[in-house]
Structure 1
Amino acid sequence: MERRSGMEDNCRIREERLKDDAKACQEKVEEIRKGWSIVNQKVVHSELQSVLDSQQQLCAAVIEDKKKLIRELQWERRVKEDEYLKNLRRLDEEIKLMLDRMQQQFQNLSKAYREELTQLQAVYQQEIEVLLAKDKAKLKEHMKEHWDTELESLMERRRMVEESEKTVHDVMLENTTKIKLMQLEENAKSQARLREQQQMKGKSVILNFKQLEHGNKNAAYNAKLGEMKGKILGSSKEVKNLKTKYAKQKDKFMKQRQYLCEVQKRSRQHYERIQKEVRYTTAADARKFEEMWVMMEEEVTQLAEKALAIDSLICKHLGLAWECPSAAFMESPGPRRSQEHDTNPTSHPLQTRHLSHCSQRMMDASVGPSLERDSEHGTGVEEGELSSEMLMKAMELLCDETGFLVEDKLRKLLAPMEKNEQTTVKLHSLFAVLGLEEKDLAKLAEFLLMYKRQQGEQTVGHFVEEAEAMENSATADSTSRLINPNNILPALRCFLEQHRKSVHERSSLSHPARDTSVEEAYWDRLGNIITEDKLKLWDAAERELKQYEEVLMDISELVPETELLRQQNTKLRMQLQQILSSTRSSN
């Protein structure tokens, strides 16, 4: 500020001197102009010479004043230049000293900041490790709870499906057994009524013969005849009432049968719908689980690859050897890999074919391959024991005993066909009702032939004996060699229970429980793909890089100020060089 005020005073004094000089010069110029006007008025040579001399002196005085002013200004300029050079040298020394002090202060602050940063990073690292350990424990606990919940829901669904299957199957068997027993009871009652009518007719014939032998007793005969007529009328009325009652009972049983068939049909449809829903939900859960697995696996794999890439860069930067993990280390035990090795058994439903193709071909084609399959699995009989004739007779007996499961419309359609074709179509319908397949034909026939359970219920056996007494003796002789007709329904029920158990076992084997230990090991491998030593190395490298970054940030903050000082120093040096060159040229 003092230098600037001094410069302002000097400029003001210089301007005043220049103004005074200009004013004096202007006055002298006016005098010279006046002298020139006097010169024009003078005529005498001496006077003109004296005027010219005076004008010349005035001009010389003006020139001398200008030269004096120039010399004074030059001297002042030299003095100011010397002072300016001294000031520049002094400023240069002060700037250098300031830079040295700033550099020393920067080094001291950097050292203090590094020590403080090291302490803060150590504290933060400990806090981060504690938080990471807590987060890992919480995540592991949440994942375990989630997997337990999913497994419990799946087991509950499987249990509900098994209970529904068992309930539907039990209802079907119970309905079929009740209908069969009701038919057997009605047949037995009708046979008893027929026997009573025949006995009454025989008694009436005997009475007629007795009356003819005793012709002399007309009065008694007439009385007895009237009594017999009354009894006959009563019996005929009773027979008529029984017939009407039988017709009503028959209509009632037919309606009840239709109702039970509809109930069974609805139950089967409901069962199939439940099966479809269960399959759909199971497939949806499996698909959702697979999608979640794939998504999480891709994300974790990308993170692992990124971590490996960062690890390789850190090792390369530090000059350490880096080894890539083996391919088996990243091998996934997920659903995609398991699908490549699993083979799910499939079953094809029994389909109804055209009547023209439902002849003996089904029986002949089913005997050989089915027996071969049964012999391979250890469930068949000895080779050659189950012939096609025995199989046909067993199936005919089965169709006769389970005829109540065949609809009346189908019976009317099968009436004009041959017996073999009727048996084939009835088998298709029966298998569709019981939920069996074509491949189970030989197993069912073998089971019926090998079944030797004795009669358990006496009432059912009584009704069956009375019904069998009215059947054709030839048919009874041919079928009794194979299996007792009384054991058809119990044997069929036992076979269906065993078949259901085997299907359930196969379904349970086809969906084994997941081994979570392998998956946990896989996720642990991915989570620990960077070892503890590498993590410590990363932490050390991170600390060094952060310190280096802090130092660079401090340097970057000082760079603009240093650059500004460098520019000012360059400008001052250029001005000094110009001044020195101008002084040299003036000297």
Structure 2
Amino acid sequence: MESRSNQQIAETRAHIKALTTEGESEVTAVRIARDQQENERRISQEVSRQARRRKLLYEAEGSARQNAVVAMKWSSLVDKEVAQELKAEIEAQREACDGIIEVKDSLLAEFRLELKQRDEEYVKALKKQAEDVDDLLEQMGRQLASLRQMHEEEVDEVETSFMQERHERMQAHEAEVQALMSRRREREESYLEARKHRIEEDQRRLEAARVQAAEDYSVLKIKLETEIQTLEKQLEEMRATYQLNQEKLDYNYRVLVERDTENTTTIKHQKRKLTRMADVLSALRAKHAREEKRYKQENAELTEDYKRVTEQFKDLQAKFQHFEESDTRRYRDVWQMNEEIVTGLMRKVLQADKIIHEQQLGLHWFPPSEQLFVAGRGDGGSTHPASSADSAAVSSRGSVDNDGVQRMLGLLCDEAGFLVEQKVLKLLEPLPVEEQNLLKIDSILKVLGVQGAADLQKLLSFFVADAESGELIHPNDAMKAIKAFIEEHQRGTRDSLGQSSRSLASTQGAQGPRGEEREFWERMSSVISGKTYRVWGALERALQRYHTLLTSRSGVIDEVRDLQQQNDELKALLNQYLSSKINEDLHVPPTHTIRLDGSSFHGG
């Protein structure tokens, strides 16, 4: 049967635990509410930031289009000869510029209004946090007073029960009662000390949260002020540009008036010069007839030499294609084997990530798309080497399977024909049109420094306007693309000019599948995101702390078990001494002494 004191202790612990749990739930509710408000605030800020970014992008695009329209109209003003029309066009340009400035001013005013609203929201948030802190401190004070009062009441109840039990059991358990009381006081002190530490830790966290909120506000305010300053600076630059353009127009108008007078005089001189040049033309025509006859004979001889060299080059190209296909096939076999090994390892990693999310974190795990493991394989890489070989041989055969490359080469032949020397063009006149285009393309590629399939694909990337549809750029932009390719090609590493055809073919074969390999490793590296790595690290640290706590608890449990065992042994030994028959032969048995000590204690 359980003693009265143990029952009272159990009831006291239950009351204290219930009161402590209630207090902790109230504090936790306040913290959860603040976390929810903070989360909502951050979501709202992110939405606002995305909206501002979209507005800036839309304004930048609209401003760019309007600036382009204004810039295009400047060139048409030069052709205006009537002063009234020129003035009307200039006024229209000025109105368009004013419209652009007005849009930027409205966007600037909107951002300033939003900044002011953010300041007001921050002040309200500070007031709300101060109120929550005051409420939390008040609740903690009430809970602490209630807990202290309950402790005192429960201590009195326990002491009363121990006194009654001590009277009922006489003096047999005097030492045990004193030990229990001492241990209880120590536990109460340790509990109060731990409670004090928790209160101090909560206060420190609240102060840290307040400081962090102030720092976030300062950073946001500085960022918005910087954006405003940038927009104001851009506005001043645009105004200066418009002023400069207006001055240029005035100057150009005066220059045109002066040039009109000069052109009248120049026309008279040119008419006299034209008469003299007619005589020179007659002499040059006669000389041209003599030179043309001589060059036709020389062209026939060079044509025969060219046909012979072309046949030799075709034979050499066929041999090169055979060896390239063989080497590429062996390379793809080895690559496919290594790809299967890496894919298997990544699947094991995903299985471990699934176990961590579902068993350790208790979260839903969403597997990545299977396209990560199958994208880019195709039919084993047989198509890629063939297209690379065709692209490498385009300068000799004049045909290619890739429709985009064929269209690009046709555009080069039409727009970059000036890169072919005049001497070569004269030699090509007796040949058919297809062979003429083939030799023109070969000469143009040599001038641009295109030496293999990789360079050809690189050149194609500068001529593609839309990667999805494969549409090429406008012919008017061909020169810009050629200049950009030459600048990029000169910065990169390229093969030496004296490298042999076989060395060049080997280099082209090795560069073919590099894009596929890079794409495969990029896919494999993106299977596990950086956020998942951070979750793994946080979980590992939490489990290590949890393991340390369990180890500490295990040691405390063993210590309590040893103390209970010693207490039971002491009780059994005391009962054995008190119930021994030898006590009957003594003049003063130990039981009388214990009873006497107990009476004196109660009487005192």
For the pair shown, which has the larger CA radius of gyration, 1 or 2? Answer: 1
TM over 0.5: no
TM-score normalised per structure 2 = 0.30
Bigger relative contact order (CA 8 A; separation at least 6): 1
